Chain A
Amino acid sequence: AQSVTQLGSHVSVSEGALVLLRCNYSSSVPPYLFWYVQYPNQGLQLLLKYTSAATLVKGINGFEAEFKKSETSFHLTKPSAHMSDAAEYFCAVTLDQTGANNLFFGTGTRLTVIP
């Protein structure tokens, strides 16, 4: 079975500080991994994705994530938090690369940015 675990349902950082949101996956085969962001009353927006190419993935809004097979992790980082980064972030995994590709989501991490 495949799943993702997001450590920390709430994370608070000061504006300008490093953002680190943790995601660990469980998978019996090489996964595809995603980070989505959800702003209040909006749908999910893709931040970045890992699809077995480069292990360091750069996404939108200055976010990046590194796939570490040895640690089964795909943590999301941003060097300097901005007030507009306040949102809920979801890590997701899919395995069925030629079929349904439905996503399995983590429980989400709500990021608060303190001015």
Chain B
Amino acid sequence: GAGVSQSPSNKVTEKGKDVELRCDPISGHTALYWYRQSLGQGLEFLIYFQGNSAPDKSGLPSDRFSAERTGGSVSTLTIQRTQQEDSAVYLCASSGDVATSEQFFGPGTRLTVL
């Protein structure tokens, strides 16, 4: 596609429910990143994919968070048993040029946990 897309744009859920957030990267981009933007924490790195593998999961805040990527394209970030502190905007970015590290960001998914 022309840019990185994310769905849904907004998600409201109840505490304890599971949610799935989707990211469609720019076609051909091999690297994919998830970040979280929240009032208290600013912009923080969550996880990185190169192809379908995730060599760096160091940013995932807890074992309730997981992510996968299939076919070297679409990625899903799953949050199990959501908590109120998970409320944030989740941003996805993709990159096709590792040497210059330019990442292209999607519009984000705003997650609200009630």
Contacts and interface: CB of A to CB of B under 8 A. Distances in A.
A103 B45 contact: yes
A12 interface: no
B55 A100 contact: yes
What is the predominant secondary structure among interface residues of chain B facing chain A? strand
Contact of B105 (A43, A100, A108): A43
B79 interface: no
Given A42-B107, A43-B108, A102 B48 contact: yes
Contacts of A32: 100-101
Given A51-B100, A105-B42, A100 B48 contact: yes
B91 A44 contact: yes
Interface in B64-114: 91, 93, 95, 98-108
Contact of B101 (A90, A101, A105, A107): A101
Contacts of A24: none
Contacts of A90: 43
Interface in A43-84: 43-46, 49, 51
Interface of A: 32, 34, 36, 41-46, 49, 51, 90, 92, 94, 97-108
Interface of B: 4, 31, 33, 35, 42-45, 48, 50, 55-56, 59, 91, 93, 95, 98-108
20 contacts: A32-B101, A34-B102, A41-B107, A42-B107, A43-B4, A43-B91, A43-B105, A43-B107, A45-B105, A51-B100, A51-B101, A90-B43, A98-B98, A98-B99, A99-B98, A102-B56, A102-B59, A103-B101, A105-B42, A108-B43
